[in-house]
Chains A and B, each alone.
Chain A
Amino acid sequence: MSAPLKPSSMETLPRPSGLAGLAADWASDQRAFKNVSWGKAMMWIFLLSDTFIFGCFLIAYMSARMATTVPWPNPSEVFALEIGGVHVPLILIAIMTFVLISSSGTMAMAVNYGYRRDRRKTAALMLITALFGATFVGMQAFEWSKLIAEGVRPWGNPWGAAQFGSTFFMITGFHGTHVTIGVIFLLIIARKVWRGDFDTERRGFFTSRKGHYEIVEITGLYWHFVDLVWVFIFAFFYLW
């Protein structure tokens, strides 16, 4: 394993912990994120920027919903399904939530097995995660087609405030895109894990850098973020 560059002070002086550590880490001539690699730090910073994007979407939705004089359609009824002749409110969204949470669970376990250098279990768990993700996107496609068939458009719908359609398509569409990109990302990394790239330190096709199992955790960070965003969408758009 190639030893990364490190300042010599890291070896000689132990870093303080707690708030003193926070101040010391952010002080001048220090690298702020001590034990975090650049890959992980950059994924976190990307996720932070994505938080603002979804934050803006949800705030736009809040403003539209608060400012309209027309009643907002009741999501509980809009997303209800008839299962075996029984009318179940919001059931499709509940199932989608459980599917996404399960995918997060398998992803967390994949990261764990990655650090144990168990490539078969890691790849298998990542593939299961991707499968859950694809299921989620499929259910979302079903949900979209059902709503479009019922007459929901970005400029109007049969049940109330016109903004319902535009916010729904924008927020869930953007989230679904994230899930789709995540599935592709998972499949690419799972293939590398399966092939043993991180055991043999095979160089990457694009960057020519040696890969490490840490990329599984970085992929995991993105995947958990997608689940995290869904928690907020579920609460504010579907349940509120």
Chain B
Amino acid sequence: MAPVEAHAAQQQHHPIKLYLLVWGLLFVLSTFSYLVDYVGLQGYLRWSLILIFMVLKAGLIVAVFMHMAWERLALIYAILLPPLLVLVFVALMVSESSYVLLTRLLFFGATP
């Protein structure tokens, strides 16, 4: 196997065309997510479209621009798995926030 620098140098030789393609895709996806607001979609359709475009953009940036697609699994898993645990935190705080909202409505009597 080649030494570290030589390996990195030969590994990350991708054609400029690839970057331009991803750049274009990111532009299109951003336009789509802006249009979601511009057209004024509401409810679950709006939220799911926002999430889909967000995940696609994040995936393109991490995979191509940050070269994660060409790394070994040891690094990919070490970096990409831990953030998934944030979702557990989200679930905890969703339950907590609903409880806070409930108590505020019960004890302060405010109507949303």
Task: List the interface of chain A (C-beta within 8 A of B).
Answer: 1, 3-4, 6, 10-11, 14-15, 17-19, 21-22, 25-26, 32-37, 40-41, 44-45, 47-48, 51-52, 55-56, 59, 62-63, 66-71, 76, 89-90, 94, 97-98, 101-102, 104-105, 107-109, 111-112, 115-116, 212-214, 217, 220-221, 224-225, 227-228, 231-232, 234-235, 238-240
Contacts and interface: CB of A to CB of B under 8 A. Distances in A.
B17 to A, nearest CB: 11
B36 A239 contact: yes
B19 A115 contact: no
A105 B67 CA distance: 13
Contacts of B105: 69
Contacts of A17: 72-73
Nearest to B108: A69
Contacts of A37: 4-5, 8
A34 B73 CA distance: 10
Contacts of B57: 231
A55 B37 CA distance: 23
B93 A62 contact: yes
B83 A55 contact: yes
Nearest to B49: A239
6 contacts: A35-B8, A101-B26, A104-B23, A105-B26, A228-B58, A240-B50
Interface residues of B, number: 65
Given A63-B96, A217-B67, A224-B61, A109 B19 contact: yes
A82 B65 CA distance: 35
Nearest to B71: A36
A52 B58 contact: no
B20 interface: yes
A115 B13 contact: yes
Contacts of A89: 37-38
A101 to B, nearest CB: 5
B60 to A, nearest CB: 10
Contacts of A10: 1
